[in-house]
Amino acid sequence: MPAAQFDYIAPTSVDEAVAALVEGGRDTRVMAGGTDLIVKIRHRMLFPKCIVNLKRIAGLDAITADKKNGLTIGATALLADVAAHKGIRRHYPTVAEAAGATANVQIRNMGTVVGNLCNASPSADNAPTLMAMAATVDIAGPRGIRSMPLDQFFQGPGITALKTGEIVTAIRVPPPVAGSGTAYHSLSQRGKLDCSAVGVGTMVVLKGDHCTNARIIVGACAPVPMRTQAAEKMLIGKQITDTLVRRAAQKASEETSPITDVRASAPYRWKMVSVLTIRALTDARKMALRRQ
């Protein structure tokens, strides 16, 4: 079968990339690692007339991670680089773990964290942790730059809040507050390689064993990575116990709306949301106690 045909641009600045996307309209697609885009073209799900490669834009792969100013991951920073970054592993370990749990070695050497988010798969491995940590996305477009919370960015499977000509230039995570802990747990058929059937990212903030804030995000069990706010509310303001964790996990499961597909059945997913939420909350709680 002959390959789909398209043109290629490798701009050297964000402004040039935005201009190319505005000019090309819907038929022009932005590419970072290409590990999702090229597969979609190969599988005849997309027929772009032009591809705009972001990887030649200097500085767009920058990562800054410290305890005071927060974490910034540029649009073309590789999954492998995020997984191995010393500052991220030290201050934002779950962000590094989620990046390291995405796909396989070769894909992590090509693909990017921001690309994983922009493909807006409900199962995107990097979304739950970053949403749990209240990350925001920096967006550049024809009308300048804007920023939005990551939990408003996802609009449906493969659909984001990006408008024509807009690209995500970076993802930002606020600095970790004292007493905060995070964790991500996922399940898939081939270990960690393929798309996750269920993924749960959590953040809890503890004062002593009192929970002052909690965020629970479930991946692959709704049209978008989903905040389970009723479960979060059960924890906030309470003394955290194993029993409460179990009840909140059950509530989180009830809030999701998984489907049966090639990766797992809906009943299995419901059950596993509860199991993974218990694990993620337990781990996040341990980290929060260490960080008091």
Partner 1 sequence: MKYDISLTVNGDTYNLAVEAWQTLNEVLREDLNLTGTKLGCGSGDCGACTVIVDGKSVSSCLTLAVEMDGRQILTVEGLAPSGETLHPIQEAFIEKGAIQCGFCTPGMELSALNLLETNPRPNDTQIRSAISGNLCRCTGYNKIVDAIAEAGRRMKPQSKARR
Nearest distance from C-beta of residue 85 to partner 1, angstroms:
15
The whole-angstrom separation of Cα 81 and Cα 279 is 26
Nearest distance from C-beta of residue 89 to partner 1, angstroms:
16
The residue (of 5 and 243) whose beta carbon lies closer to partner 1 is 5
The whole-angstrom separation of Cα 101 and Cα 109 is 13
The residue (of 189 and 292) whose beta carbon lies closer to partner 1 is 189
Nearest distance from C-beta of residue 56 to partner 1, angstroms:
9
- The conformation of residue 29, written as its DSSP 8-state character, comes to E
- The conformation of residue 277, written as its DSSP 8-state character, comes to H
Nearest distance from C-beta of residue 11 to partner 1, angstroms:
13
Nearest distance from C-beta of residue 152 to partner 1, angstroms:
30
The residue (of 8 and 262) whose beta carbon lies closer to partner 1 is 8
The whole-angstrom separation of Cα 262 and Cα 277 is 22
The residue (of 63 and 289) whose beta carbon lies closer to partner 1 is 63
Nearest distance from C-beta of residue 39 to partner 1, angstroms:
5
The residue (of 56 and 271) whose beta carbon lies closer to partner 1 is 56
Q: Are 221 and 258 in contact (CB under 8 A)?
A: yes
Q: In the complex, which residues of this chain contact partner 1 (CB under 8 A)?
A: 3-8, 10, 34-35, 38-39, 41-43, 51, 53, 55, 80, 103-107, 109-110, 191-194
DSSP string covering 167-235 = EEEEEEEPPPPTTEEEEEEEE-TTTTSS--SEEEEEEEEEETTEEEEEEEEEESSSSS-EE-HHHHHHH
The C-alpha torsion from 229 through 199 and 290 to 92, rounded to 10°, is: -100
The residue (of 144 and 191) whose beta carbon lies closer to partner 1 is 191
226-227/180-187 β-pairing: unpaired
